[in-house]
Amino acid sequence: MSLESLGRAIGERQERRPMRFLLMALLVTLATLPGLPLLINHVEPSIEKVLPQDVEVVRTMNAMRSQYGADMMYLVLQPSPSSGTVTDLRSPDVLRYEDLLAQKLRERESILEVQTLTDLVRRDNRGTLPIDTDTTRRLIAQDPSSPLFLGEGDDLAIIHIRSDTGASAQLIRETVDAIGEDVASLEANNPGVTLRLTGFNAIDKATFEIIIADFASITLWSFLFMLVFLFLYYKGSARKVLLSISVIILALVWTLGLTGYLGITITVVTMVAAAMIMALGISYGIHTVHRYTELREEHAPAESLVLMQEELLRALLGSSLTTSAGFLALLFGVLPAMKNLGIILAMGIVITLAATVLVVPVIIRITDTLEH
């Protein structure tokens, strides 16, 4: 059977039993919707995870991490401008607060070691914290390692936190959240300092939040820009605009849901997939609506649907397969993120083809009947 004959057969079946195709689309949509929340569980903000894990320098880094837990984070303490109660971070009140915070942090399972200025002065002061700032100044001046914990201007103190997250996004988030909880629990003991968490793990946590926000923002802006241009193209015809975007709505829900089920990792690279699927898939919707409109000028609705499908399948199949083949070429690269991007895009284009051929013509035919 030729592609034209197959397309004609699909069109005739859609004309006879349109509700079956709509029911199929509904069932597929309902089946893929639960996969959308799973995407959050597979977001990987770590730049390390974008790298191929079999490269020698990456393997060495992973081996060092597993042996020494070499994930460092830093709590930076500075006098709070709003309180004005702390003028010197070497004061006894600040040291006691640092000591309490360090003890609480050490109770966390993912935190291997915490080092503070209090460890240094306690060691040099026979195991006790000084009761006055002058003694602390003298002890710090005698210890060459003090610059690791106190800035040159004495207005910045650093708590070193060695963790063991293995660059796991989930463990990083849990550890960063745990540090935040411990800081909040000791707020009553805070003498008047502000605390900021930094380090590669903290940056990964911030990157995770940026990825989620950008993913939603990019997708939304892409969708809005398409709406604007479609309204201009169709000269304000809301029906034709909605028919055209129905393709990318179905394709996005099905593709992203399936991506969530497959557990494909979302990184700073793959987060652009949704916008790219929309940008590529909208042409399928425009082509379908435009061709049906042309055929309706000379044919009845039923005949227009069949004739459109007779032409549609060959044109869109060739376009989608060549586009998918181009994206699948990314599988021959080295970077895992690029491979995942190729899989998502290739899958998205094929799904767009399925939505365009099997569902959208039925919606066009039904809305045409209702309009006339």
What mean pLDDT comes out for the span 328-347?
89
Q: Is the pLDDT of residue 66 over 60?
A: no
The pLDDT assigned to 123 comes to: 84
| pLDDT value of position 165 | 74
Please give the pLDDT value at position 62: 64
Q: State yes or no: pLDDT of 281 exceeds 80.
A: yes
Q: For residue 40, how many C-alpha atoms fall within 13 Å in the half-sphere facing its CB?
A: 8
263-280 pLDDT, tens digit per residue, is 888 877 888 888 889 888
Burial status of residue 201 (CB atoms within 10 A of its CB: 0-12, 13-18, 19 or more): buried
pLDDT tens digits along 15-48: 889 899 999 999 999 999 999 988 877 777 666 6
The overall average pLDDT reported for the chain is 84
Quote the CA–CA distance of 288 and 296 in Å, as a whole number: 12
CA atoms of 226 and 285, how far apart (whole Å): 12
User: Is the CB of residue 7 less than 8 Å from the CB of residue 14?
Assistant: no
| pLDDT for 63 | 65
Q: Which two tokens stand for residue 315?
A: 């044109």
CA distance 246 to 255: 14
pTM of the complete model: 0.72
- 194 forms beta bridges with 78
Q: In what order do the strands lie in the sheet with 71-79?
A: 111-115, 157-163, 71-79, 193-199
